[in-house]
Structure 1
Amino acid sequence: MNVEEQLIKKAYFEEMIENSTTTDHPFQILSELYLEENKKEVADFSYIRFAQGEVYFHYKDYEAAIFKWENIHNELGPWAKKNMADAYLELGMPETAEGIYLSIEEASTPLKMETNLQLLSIYIEQGRMDKAIEIIQSAVALDPDYPEITEIARNFYEEHKEWNYAVSLALDEAVRTGSLNWFAILEGYITTGQTVGKHPMYFNHAITTLFSINLSRFEQFVDAIWNQYKGREEYLDWLNNFNTLFLDMEVNSEDSWRLLSNQYQEAYFELINGTHFIKELTRMIPQHLGNWLKITNSSTALFASAAVMAWSERFPSTVPSTVVRNAEEMILNAEKYPMAKEDSLQLFQTVLEWAEENGIESGNLIKWNIEELAHQKFHHLLLAGISNSSKEDFINVLLGDDILSGPTSSIIAFKHGEETEIKEVTDTEMTKIENNEQFQQAIGVRRQNVKKDTIIDFTFPNEFIRLNQLKMIDLPEIQHHQIGNHTIYQYIHFADSMLFFINAEQGLTDNDKEVLKQVSIQVPNLPIHFVLMKLETLTNDEESKVIDKTLSRIQVYCPEAKLFIYSTHNRKDKVIRDFTEFLHPTLNNGITLDERVTKLQHFVRKSIHYLLDKRLEMETNLIESVRWNEEMSTKLNGAINQIHDLEDEKKRTIKDEYNLIQDEVRKEILKSVPNILRSSSEIIKEDSDFSKIHIKLNEEMNSRIQDYLEGTVLKKYYRELNKWIAQSKAEFDQAQYTLDEMCEGFNVMYGEEKLKQQCDFKILDDWQRDADRMTSGIQLEKMNFLLRYTPAQVFLKSAGKLFAVMPQNNAMLYNKYKSYIENENYSEAAETIADKFFKQFEMFEKSLGRDVTLFFKEPLRILNGAVDESHQHIETSKAELEKMRVKPEVYRDPLNLFEVQLRQYEWMAAAGKQQ
C-alpha cells in the first residue's frame, strides 16, 4: 500500500508502528515514539500527531483526533485538514466539514478526489443537487480513471434521474475508454428514451469509435439510435448525418448487416411514400442508396438494387455510376421475386389513399381494371374488330342469347356469376343497371353525345365462360376515323389474348393492318387470333382460297395467329364446341404471374399519370371557376339592380294607381258634400222652432253625410280598391314572369335548377283583407256645420231666439234660414270631410312601398346569396390556385415518388427472368 492509499484509508500510522518490536496497542507505541521525538534537539511531532489522530478517528474519539490534526504544517497538512473535516462530518457538523474541505489548497489529485467525494455526500444529504452535480463533474473531469469515480457518478446520476449528465458521462467514457460496457450503458439510455432531443451529430464520435472496435456492437448501437429518431422531427437529420458518416466507412459486404439493412429498406420506403419533397430527397437519397447497397443482405439485396436503378433512371447522374453498376449486377444475379404482384397492388392502394386524402377522384375505370387483373385465374379475352365484322352476332352465339342487338358504344365485360348483375362504370360513378332497356340504352348510340368512357360490367350465369374461366371484354367497333385513338390501345394491356374480327367480304383491310401494327408495337407478346364469318354464297373451293389468302396475310403481322371460321347456319352448340377447341391451346398456355404483374404495373402507372393529369385539370378548372364565378357575379349583380329597378317601377305604378283612386273619390266627395248639406234645407218649415232649428239642421247634415259616405263613397271606394288590387296583381304577375325568365337564364348557365325566385303574393291577400276591413264602415265625428261662431250664423241663431215668440216673424226666419243653407259655401267642410274619410287609409297608403319591397324580398335574398356564394367560390379557388402555384411540388412530388417506387417494383419483377 503506497502512502496515498494509506492517507486515504487513514492508515498512515501503520507505517510508523510497523517496525515496532512490541505488540502494544498503537496508542502505546505512538506515545513512546512521541517521547523519543521529544528527546531530540529539534523535535518534529507533526507526523506522530497526524498518526495519533488517525488512531483516535478509528476509535471514534473525533474530538481528540481533531485536536491532534490541528496545526500540522508539513506536507501532511492538507490531509490533516481533510481528516478534520471527516471528523466534523462524523460529529454531525456538515457545514463545518464543508468549510474545511473547501479551504484545502495545493492538494494532490487523490486528496482532491477524496475531498470531492466527501463534499458529494454532504450535498446529497442536504439536497443541494446543483452543488452535487458540479462537484461530481469536477471529480470526473479531474481524474476519470480514479477508482470507481465514473461508476459513482453514473449511479448518482441514475439514482437522481439526471439523465442528461448520465448520457454525457456514458458517451464520454465510451469514446475515451473504448469500453463495450460503456457503449452498452449508452445504448441502454438510448433504448429507454433518455437521449430523446439530442441532435443526431451528438452521437457521431461514439459511432465512429465503436465502428473501429466492434462491428457487431456498432450495428446494434446504430440500430438503437435509428429507432430513437423514427417518427421524430430529427429523423431526416439523422439519416443525412449517419449516411454522411457511414459513406466513408469501409465495410465488408460479406459481414452480416441484417439490422442496418432492414433499417435502410424501411427508411427508403418511408422517404418515398409521398410525404417528403423531392428537392430535399435528391440530396440524401443517393447517399442512402449507396450505403444500403454496400451492406445489403440476401433478403434485401433485390430491394436495394432495384431502388438504385429506379432512382437513377428518374434522377440521372445523382447516383454514382459504380453504385449503379453494382445494382445492375445484383439484379441480374437475383432470384425471382415472388411478391411483385402484392407489392404492386399495395402501391396502388397507397396511391388511392393519397388521392382520397387530397380530395382527388382517382378514377373508377382504372380501379376496375386493377381489381379485375388481381384475379389471376381468369383469362381476359379481348374482342375487337373494324366495323361491319358481325362481331356482335358471334358474341350472341357464345353467350347463348341475343344480348347485343347491334354495334355497341361501350366496353362490355362479360363474366360468369351465379346471379345476373350489370353495372355501368365511368370514371366518376358506378351505376347499377336494373333491366334490359337500361342496358340497351347504356350500350347504344347515345354515347355519341356523352364525353366519357364507360365499361359495362355484365355478370351472369354462362357455362361457356365458366368452363373456360374467361372474362370476355367486347370493345366498340373501330371506325375509320378512330384508327389511331381507339380504346383498343388501352385494353390490349389488360388482355391476355385478343380475337380480331375480320369483315368477310373485305378480308384484311389496310385499316386492320394499321391497328394490328400498333397493337404489336405496344404489346409485342400478346397472342392474337382472328374470327371470320363464312360467306354462304361461296363454293367450297372459293371459300378455301379466301381462307388461305386471309390466313397468309394475317400471319405476316401475327405469325402465330390462327383463324376461326364460323357460319350462322351452324347450330349454336356446334359453334361453341368448335370455338372452345380453337381456344383450347391458348387457354392451356395459362396466365403467368409475370404477365399479370406487368399488366398490373401498367395500370398502376396509368393511375399515377391519371392523377398527374388531374393536377393540370384541377388548375384549369380553378382558373375557369374564378373566371366563371366572376362573370356570374357580375350578371347576378346586374340582375339585382334590375330587380331594384323593377321594384321602383312597381312601387311607382301601384302607388300612382292608388292615388288616382283617392283623387277621384276625393273629387266626388268635394262635389257631393256641399249639395248634400244644401239639401238639408228641406227640413226647414215655416212652423219650425227657429230657436233650435240650427241644432236640428246640424244633426241632419251629419246624418246625411254619414249616410252618403257609407252608402255611396265606401261602396265605390271598395269597388275601386278591388280593381286596383287586380291591376296590382297583373303588375306582380308581370314582375314574376320577368323573374322566372331571369331564373331560367341563370339556371341554364348553372346547368341545374339552382335559382327559384318566388315573389311574395301574400301581399295581395293582405291588401284585400285591409280593403275589406277599411271599407266595412266609417264613423266620423259630428261636425259643427251650424254651431260655429260665424257672423251669419250668430245673427240667424240670435234672430231665431228673439223672433221665434212672434209667429208673424216665422216666414221671415224661414226664408233667411232657407236662403243661408242653400247658398252657403261648404267647400271647407267638404275638404274636412274628405280629409277625415281618408284619414283611416293613411297607414295603408304609407305601407304600400314597404309591401312592394316585401314582394321582391325573397328574390333579392336568393340573388344576394348567389352573389355571396360566387364570391366565396372565387376566394376559395384563388386560394387553391395560389397554393398550387406557390408549391406545385405538394401535389407533383408524391406522384413522381410513387412512380419511382413503381419502377423499383418493375425492376424487381424482372429479376430472375434471365435465369
Structure 2
Amino acid sequence: MTLEKQLIKKIYYETFLMENETHPPLQVLGEAYLAEQKNEFSDGSYIRFAQGEFYYHHQDFESAIFKWEKVNNELEPWAQKNIADAYFELNQLSAAETVYTSITTDNKILMTEISLQLLSLYIEQNKLDLAFKVIKDAVSVNPDYPNVTTIARSFYEEQQDWDSAVELAINEMIRTESFQWFEILKEYIDKGFTKTISPDYFYKVLVTLHNVDLIQFTQIVSSLWHSYKNEQTYLLWLKTINDFFSHIEVHSTDEWDNISSLYEETYFELIQGQYMLRQLHDIVPNILTNWLKMVNPSRSVFPSAAVLAWDEIFPAKIDSADVQHAEKLLLHSTNYTDDLDYSLHLFDSITQWAQNNDLEMGHRFRWLVCELADLRTNRLLVTGTSGNGKSSFINSVLGENILEDSSSNTVIFKDDAHTEINAITDATISTTNNFSDFHNMMSMHRQTYREKTCIEFKLPCKFLSKNKLAFVVTPGFNRNNDIRNETFGYLNSVDSLLFVLNADSPFTDKERDILLNIQAHAPDLQIHFLLNKIDNIYSEAEVKRVIHDTQTRIHTYFPHARVLPYSSLYTNTQQLNELTDFVNFNFEYKNLDQERTKKILFFIRKAIQYLLDKRVEMENNLVDSISWNEDILVRLNGFINNVTAFEKEKIHFITDSYRTMKHKITNDLTEHIPRLLQGCSDLISEDSDFRHIDIELNTAMNERIRNYLEQTVLPNFASSMQNWIETSNNEFLQSQSYLEEISEGLNSLCGENRIQLECDFKILDDWRRDTDRMTNRIQMEEVNIFRRFTPAQFLLKSAGKLFGSLPKNKTMLYNKYKQYLENEDFTDVTTSIINKFFLQFELFENALERDITMFFRDPFSSLKQAVEHTHLEIQEQQNTLHKMKSNPEVYRDPVTLFELRLRQYEVVLSIDKENPDTELMLETNMESIF
C-alpha cells in the first residue's frame, strides 16, 4: 500500500507494528517514542503522527489533535488535515474549516482530500456556493482521483444544478471518451436538461464522438435534435449541426439513415410556414446540402427535388455542384411517394392558411379538387358546338329528359342511390332533391350570380354506376374558338374529353379550331369524338363512308382519337354496350393516380396565384377604402357644418317668430290696459265711500284687468301660440326632410344603413303642453294700481279720508277722482302688468334655443359618431396597410413556401412511374413528413 493511501486511511501507524504484532499498538508506539528520545538527534514527529492516528480511530480526538500539533516534519500538512478531520468529528465545523483552508501544499492527492472534506463540511453548513466552488476546483485539479467526478456528479444532481452536471459530463466524455459518460450525457439531454444551453457548446462533443463511435455520435445528435425542437434555439442548433457536417466527410450509407431522416423531417417542418424566409435563407440550403450528402441513394428523390426547387425559387443559394449532384441523383431515382395524398395535403394547407388570413378560396374551387381526389370515378367531359345533340346524347344515356339544348351552366352527372341536386358557386352551395327544381335552379343562378355556377346532379343511373363514370357537361360553343366558354375552366378537372359531332356535317373547321385551342390549353388531355345523329344517314354504306372520312380528318390533328357512331333517338342495349367498351378502353390504360395528381397540382398553382393576386387586391382595396373613407369624412364634416348652420337658422327663425308674436301682444296690452283703467271712472259716484274708495277701485281695476287678460288676451295668445307651433312644426319637418336626404345620400354612398338622422319631435309636444298650461288661466298677483305713493294718489286718498264723511264734499271728491282716472296714463302700471303677465312666457322663450338644440341633438350625435367611427376605420386601415407594406414577408413568405412545396413536388412527379417494379410505397411514414 502506498504511503498516500496509508495517510488517507489514517493507518500510517501500522508500519510501526510489523515486528510487534502481538503487543498492544499503544504500547509499541510508546516504546518507539521512548527509544527515539534516546537518540542524539531525535525526531518524534513520525511517532506522534502515528499515535494521533491511533487515538483518532479510538475517537480520542482531543489526544489525536494534541499529538498532531507536535508534528513538524514533511507530514505536517497531513497532520493539519487530520486535525481538521478531528474537529469535523467533534462538530467544531468553524475550527475545521479554518484549519482546512490554512493548509498549503503541492501534493495533489492531499489537496483533493481536503477539497472532498470541505465539500462535506460546506454541505453540512449549507454553504452551497462554497461547496460548488470547492468540488469544481477538485475536479479541475485532479479529475482522475478516485470517485471525485462521481461525487461531483452526485452533488450536482442532488442540488439539481443541471448546467454543472452537463458541463461535468461533457468535459469527462471528451477527456475520457468513455461509454459511461456518453450514457450520462445522453440521459441529461433526453430529460431536457440541456435545452437552455447554447447548441454550439456541444460542438467539441460531436467532434469527439464522431472520431470515437459513429453509433454514439448519431444517438447524441438525435437526442440534441429532438431536445432543441420547438425551442428558441432550434435554428441555432440547425446552424451548429450544419456547420459540423460541412467540415467532415460523409458517405451515404445506412449508418446515416437516422440523421438523414432528421434532416428530411426538419426540412418539411421548416417550409410549413412558421418561419420567415429571412430565418431560413442561411439554414435551409445547408440542410439540403447535408441531407443530400448523407441520404441513401434509394431515398434521394425528395432531397434532390427539394434542392432543385429551392435553387429555382432562390437562385444561387446552393452550390452549383450540389445542384448538379441532385440532378444526377434524380435522373436515376425512383419515386415511391403517395403523390395524391401529398398534393391534397398541400392544397389543404393552402386553404387552411387562406381561411386563417380571412381569404376564401371558394366552394367551387375546393369542390373540384375534392372531385379529383375520388379515384373511384372517371370524369368524362362532354361538349361540342351548339346544335350537335349533346343534350339529347346525355338524356339518352341517363334515360331521362333532363338537359335542355339551351343550358348555359356546367352540369356534372353522378350516380347515387338518391336524387340530389347541388348548385355550387364560389360563394354558396344550394341543395334540393326535387327534380322539378332543377331548371328553376339553373335559371335562378344564371340571373342571380355573375360568377360561374356548376350543378352537381346525383341520380340513380345504371350506366354511370356500371362504368364508374361521371359526366361533366359544359355549355355548347356558339362562336369559333371562344375561350370564354366554360369548357376551358374544366379542362384540368376531367380525365378525358368527348366532343359531340353532328353526322350531317362532322368535324367542321370551326370545331377543329375549337379543339386545337382546347389542346393548347390542356395538351395532355385525351380527346375522343361521338358522331351523333348517325340515324340521319340514309344507308349503311353512307354511314361507313362518313365514319371513315371523319376519322381521316380527325386523325390528321388528333391521331390517337377514337370516333364512336351514335344515335340519340334509338338508344338500345347494343349501342350502350359499345359506349361502355369505348369508355372502358379510354380509361383502361390510364395512370389515374398520377394524372389526377398533376391536375390537383394545376389547381394548387392556381390557388397560389390567387393568393398572390389577392395580396395585391387587398393592398389596393385598403388604399381605395382609405381614400373613400377620407372622402366620407370630408362629407360628414361638411354635413355637420351644414346642420350647424341649419340649426342656427331655425333657432333664429323660430325664436324671432315667437318674439314677433309676443311683441304684438305687448303692443295690444300697452294700448288697451290704460284705456281699461281709465274706464274705471264709471265705478265712481257721488255716493261712493271716498274714505275707502282707493281700495275698492284697486280691487275693481285688478278684476277688470284679470277678466280682460283671461277672456281676451289669453285666448288670442293661445291661438297665436298654436299658429307659431304649427309654423315651427313646418320648420322642423323641413329640417327632418333635409337630414333624411343627407342620411339617404350617405347610406347610398356607403352601400349600407350606416346612419340615421332622426330629430326629436317630442319638443313640439312639450311646447303644446306648455302652451296649454300658460294660456289656460292667468296666474298673476294683484297689481297695486290705486294704492301707490304717488303725489296725486296720496292727495286723493288723504282728501277722501278727511272729507269723505261730509256730504257736501262728495261732489268735489267725485269730480277729483273721476278727473284723475280719466286723465291718468297708467304707464307704470301697464308696464308692471305686462311684465307679470309675460313672466312665464319669457321663461318659455329663454328655453327655446335649448329646446331647438335638443331637437337636433340626435342627428348631431349620429354624425359625430360616424366621424369618430370613420376616423377609427381610417386609422385601422392605415395601420393594416402600413403593416402589410412594412412587413410584406408575413404574407409573402408563406405563399412563397407554398410555391416551393408545389415546385419540388412537380419535380418529383416528373420521374417516370410507368415501370411496374417501382410501384412501391415509400417506407418513410409520410404523415410525419407532411
User: Which stretches in structure 2 are left out of the alignment for 5+ residues?
Assistant: 916-930
Other-structure match for 2:293: 294
Given the alignment of the two structures, is residue 882 of structure 1 paired with residue 882 of structure 2, yes or no?
Answer: yes
Contact 1:379/1:591 (CA < 8 Å) preserved in 2?
no
SS of the residue 1:212 aligns to: helix
1:350 to partner: Cα distance = 2.1
Which moves more between the two structures, 686-695 or 218-227?
686-695
Other-structure match for 2:228: 229
| 1:424 to 1:654, Cα distance in 2 relative to 1, 3 A | farther
Other-structure match for 2:161: 162
1:805 to partner: Cα distance = 4.6
After superposition, residues 320-719 of structure 1 pair within 5 angstroms as 320-387=319-386, 391-401=390-400, 403-405=402-404, 407-432=406-431, 440=439, 443-444=442-443, 451-478=450-477, 480=479, 483-502=482-501, 508=507, 512-531=511-530, 534=533, 540=539, 549-564=549-564, 569-570=569-570, 580=580, 582-589=582-589, 592-719=592-719
1:841 to partner: Cα distance = 1.4
SS of the residue 2:492 aligns to: coil
- Give the letter aligned to residue 657 of structure 1: S
SS of the residue 2:348 aligns to: helix
| 1:10 to 1:393, Cα distance in 2 relative to 1, 3 A | same
Separation in structure 2 between the aligned mates of residue 396 and residue 200 of structure 1, nearest angstrom: 70
- Give the letter aligned to residue 243 of structure 2: T
1:911 to partner: Cα distance = 4.3
Separation in structure 1 between the aligned mates of residue 444 and residue 65 of structure 2, nearest angstrom: 117
SS of the residue 1:841 aligns to: helix
- Give the letter aligned to residue 107 of structure 2: S
Which moves more between the two structures, 252-261 or 172-181?
252-261
1:197 to partner: Cα distance = 0.8
Given the alignment of the two structures, is residue 82 of structure 1 paired with residue 81 of structure 2, yes or no?
Answer: yes
Other-structure match for 1:212: 211
Deviations 1:8-54, CA, capped at 9 Å, x for gaps: 33343444554x38754444554555455455443344434434444
Deviations 1:406-430, CA, capped at 9 Å, x for gaps: 5445443333444444444333444
1:909 to partner: Cα distance = 4.1
Which moves more between the two structures, 200-209 or 8-17?
8-17
1:637 to partner: Cα distance = 1.1
Separation in structure 1 between the aligned mates of residue 555 and residue 131 of structure 2, nearest angstrom: 94
Separation in structure 2 between the aligned mates of residue 844 and residue 532 of structure 1, nearest angstrom: 95
Other-structure match for 1:845: 845
Contact 1:13/1:51 (CA < 8 Å) preserved in 2?
yes
1:891 to partner: Cα distance = 0.5
1:638 to partner: Cα distance = 0.8
Other-structure match for 2:136: 137
Separation in structure 2 between the aligned mates of residue 567 and residue 421 of structure 1, nearest angstrom: 28
Given the alignment of the two structures, is residue 187 of structure 1 paired with residue 183 of structure 2, yes or no?
Answer: no
Separation in structure 2 between the aligned mates of residue 480 and residue 648 of structure 1, nearest angstrom: 66
SS of the residue 1:267 aligns to: helix
| 1:371 to 1:648, Cα distance in 2 relative to 1, 3 A | same
Separation in structure 1 between the aligned mates of residue 724 and residue 377 of structure 2, nearest angstrom: 80
SS of the residue 2:528 aligns to: strand
Given the alignment of the two structures, is residue 762 of structure 1 paired with residue 762 of structure 2, yes or no?
Answer: yes
Contact 1:706/1:779 (CA < 8 Å) preserved in 2?
no
Contact 1:306/1:904 (CA < 8 Å) preserved in 2?
yes
Other-structure match for 1:246: 245
1:268 to partner: Cα distance = 1.1
Separation in structure 2 between the aligned mates of residue 481 and residue 702 of structure 1, nearest angstrom: 106
Which moves more between the two structures, 700-709 or 422-431?
422-431
Which moves more between the two structures, 486-495 or 395-404?
395-404
Separation in structure 2 between the aligned mates of residue 160 and residue 811 of structure 1, nearest angstrom: 132
Deviations 1:368-394, CA, capped at 9 Å, x for gaps: 222222222122222334455554454
Which moves more between the two structures, 779-788 or 442-451?
442-451
Contact 2:504/2:537 (CA < 8 Å) preserved in 1?
no
- Give the letter aligned to residue 269 of structure 1: F
Separation in structure 2 between the aligned mates of residue 371 and residue 270 of structure 1, nearest angstrom: 25
Separation in structure 2 between the aligned mates of residue 102 and residue 191 of structure 1, nearest angstrom: 39
SS of the residue 1:366 aligns to: helix
| 1:596 to 1:806, Cα distance in 2 relative to 1, 3 A | same
Deviations 1:352-380, CA, capped at 9 Å, x for gaps: 23223323333333222222222221222
Other-structure match for 1:275: 274
- Give the letter aligned to residue 894 of structure 1: P
1:238 to partner: Cα distance = 0.5
SS of the residue 2:355 aligns to: helix
Separation in structure 1 between the aligned mates of residue 267 and residue 219 of structure 2, nearest angstrom: 19
Separation in structure 2 between the aligned mates of residue 212 and residue 864 of structure 1, nearest angstrom: 77
Contact 2:503/2:536 (CA < 8 Å) preserved in 1?
no
Other-structure match for 2:7: 7
Other-structure match for 1:904: 904
Deviations 1:753-773, CA, capped at 9 Å, x for gaps: 332222222222222222222
1:277 to partner: Cα distance = 1.4
Contact 1:332/1:914 (CA < 8 Å) preserved in 2?
no
1:749 to partner: Cα distance = 1.1
- Give the letter aligned to residue 863 of structure 1: L
1:273 to partner: Cα distance = 0.9
| 1:75 to 1:217, Cα distance in 2 relative to 1, 3 A | same
Other-structure match for 1:150: 149
Separation in structure 1 between the aligned mates of residue 116 and residue 751 of structure 2, nearest angstrom: 88
Which moves more between the two structures, 485-494 or 30-39?
30-39
Which moves more between the two structures, 439-448 or 755-764?
439-448
| 1:54 to 1:363, Cα distance in 2 relative to 1, 3 A | same
Separation in structure 2 between the aligned mates of residue 389 and residue 876 of structure 1, nearest angstrom: 57
Contact 1:88/1:94 (CA < 8 Å) preserved in 2?
yes
| 1:86 to 1:462, Cα distance in 2 relative to 1, 3 A | same
Separation in structure 1 between the aligned mates of residue 376 and residue 793 of structure 2, nearest angstrom: 123
1:592 to partner: Cα distance = 1.6
| 1:64 to 1:855, Cα distance in 2 relative to 1, 3 A | closer
Which moves more between the two structures, 516-525 or 387-396?
387-396
Other-structure match for 1:172: 171
SS of the residue 1:793 aligns to: helix
| 1:435 to 1:800, Cα distance in 2 relative to 1, 3 A | farther
Other-structure match for 1:913: 913
Other-structure match for 1:865: 865
Separation in structure 1 between the aligned mates of residue 693 and residue 527 of structure 2, nearest angstrom: 127
1:270 to partner: Cα distance = 1.5
- Give the letter aligned to residue 610 of structure 2: Y
SS of the residue 1:499 aligns to: strand
Contact 2:710/2:778 (CA < 8 Å) preserved in 1?
yes
1:624 to partner: Cα distance = 0.8
1:283 to partner: Cα distance = 0.9
1:347 to partner: Cα distance = 2.2
Separation in structure 2 between the aligned mates of residue 43 and residue 675 of structure 1, nearest angstrom: 158
Separation in structure 2 between the aligned mates of residue 22 and residue 578 of structure 1, nearest angstrom: 119
Separation in structure 2 between the aligned mates of residue 319 and residue 287 of structure 1, nearest angstrom: 8
Separation in structure 2 between the aligned mates of residue 446 and residue 435 of structure 1, nearest angstrom: 16
Contact 1:373/1:600 (CA < 8 Å) preserved in 2?
yes
Separation in structure 1 between the aligned mates of residue 321 and residue 877 of structure 2, nearest angstrom: 48
Other-structure match for 1:830: 830
| 1:576 to 1:914, Cα distance in 2 relative to 1, 3 A | closer
- Give the letter aligned to residue 225 of structure 2: W
| 1:209 to 1:914, Cα distance in 2 relative to 1, 3 A | farther
Other-structure match for 2:736: 736
